[in-house]
Amino acid sequence: IVTDLVGSLLIIFREMMFNSFYPVLQEEIGVGSAFEGWIPSEEGTVYQVLVPLMPPRGHAFHLELNSAKEDPARTFSIRVELLCTCTSEQMPGQMLCFLHQPEEELKSNQDPSLLHTLCTDSYLDVQKTSRWFHQLLYAAWVVLPYSSRYTMKVLQSSYSCCFQIRRDEEKLDIDMMFGVQQGDSDIFLSSQQTEAFLIPSTIWSETYAVAEAKFFRHIAGMAPPDSWHLKCLQLCARILVGSGFHMDILKTAVMHLLTEIPLSQWRRKDCLLRLQDIMLYLGCCLEGKCLNHFFFGNEQVPVEITLPQDFRNVVPPNLFHHLAQDPSAHSEALREFDELQDQ
């Protein structure tokens, strides 16, 4: 339902934006635990969908790294540049060049450039993009066939497009994120998790959600039909719900173990051993204050996952870097982990 609904919305969005200079919306990509096959909690499931953005005609995106490469939370700015279209193969009169046509002629005969709609100081703005998505959603919902069977409620979010559809007792929460692809890789810049930080709205976080979803599809294709690797991940996730440990930490640990322990040893009969392995692995990482990022400098990443060139031969960022810097936080994490391990 979610995939069909979002796909239908994007078709209408594209029709509404035809011949404009807003970002070009690409095909949606289901990401997150619901699309990977495991759900941390039986309640409050959110279906996350990433919508890649491409620059419109006469524009280019330039990705500028803001944070240090060893920082686990890498952030970027997306600078929007106008390109000369005077010598392009456009039909005469089809598009005026933003760089070389008189401003009065542009205002009278052509929609504004992306720089004048969704940008702040030449940089693509997350919050403006979110408001644009919400405007499209309101306009598109009334002509969508789903509107005759479901009611739609927009959920508050400044960094993505969140909404809920409901019919009788059935309800689905959908989070349409948007992102810009790094080259031809499976790594994107996205609004995901940006809301947790007090940073300018022109800052975009690097997200590995597409690569993670692709990793779990790869494992599903390689594992025996009766594999319980997702059950193990889900069981541990439900233990961690409400704790100070982020689900990304658990997922990273399990991804490392899935490349180290043969997939033939993740069957139901092995479940208890694998649960013990997951907790032991996390405990060792906590003791050593080090959990390596899965996609940086890791030769075990399946070749089917396309990574930027600079990911291959670097020292992986430490996801427990903050614990190494803060002894009291490290002690608290160890204490809480001991309680979780007892559970």
173 shares a domain with 27? yes
84 shares a domain with 11? yes
pLDDT of residue 72: 63
Domain that holds residue 83: 1-208
232 shares a domain with 117? no
**Nearest C-alpha neighbor of 58 from the set 37, 84, 89, 36:** 84
CB 286, CB 320: distance < 8 Å: yes
38 shares a domain with 65? yes
143 shares a domain with 291? no
327 shares a domain with 196? no
Token pair belonging to 131: 């408001």
251 shares a domain with 175? no
Instruction: Tell me whether residue 281 is in a domain.
Output: yes
Instruction: Tell me whether residue 166 is in a domain.
Output: yes
Residue 309 CA to residue 171 CA, distance in Å, equals 42
Query: How do beta strands 123-124 and 203-207 pair?
Result: unpaired
Which of 208, 242, 275 is where one domain is finished?
208
Instruction: Tell me whether residue 214 is in a domain.
Output: no
What is the CA 79 to chain-centroid distance, rounded? 20
Instruction: Tell me whether residue 218 is in a domain.
Output: no
202 shares a domain with 140? yes
- Residue 336 sits in a domain whose CATH number is 1.10.1410.40
249 shares a domain with 201? no
- Residue 112 sits in a domain whose CATH number is 3.30.460.90
Give the pTM: 0.91
115 shares a domain with 259? no
State the Cα torsion 189-254-32-55 to the nearest 10°. 20
136 shares a domain with 17? yes
183 shares a domain with 227? no
pLDDT of residue 198: 63
Instruction: Tell me whether residue 291 is in a domain.
Output: yes
Query: How do beta strands 188-190 and 170-181 pair?
Result: antiparallel
Residue 27 CA to residue 210 CA, distance in Å, equals 13
Instruction: Name residues whose C-beta falls within 8 Å of residue 34's C-beta, 6 or more positions apart in sequence.
Output: 45, 46, 47, 48
Give the count of domains, the chain.
2
List residues bridging with 48 in a β-sheet. Answer: 31, 175
Block means of pLDDT (10 residues each) for the chain, 343 residues, are 95 92 96 92 86 95 80 85 78 72 76 92 95 96 94 91 93 95 96 64 93 97 95 92 88 97 96 95 95 95 94 90 92 91 78
**Nearest C-alpha neighbor of 289 from the set 330, 329, 261, 250:** 330
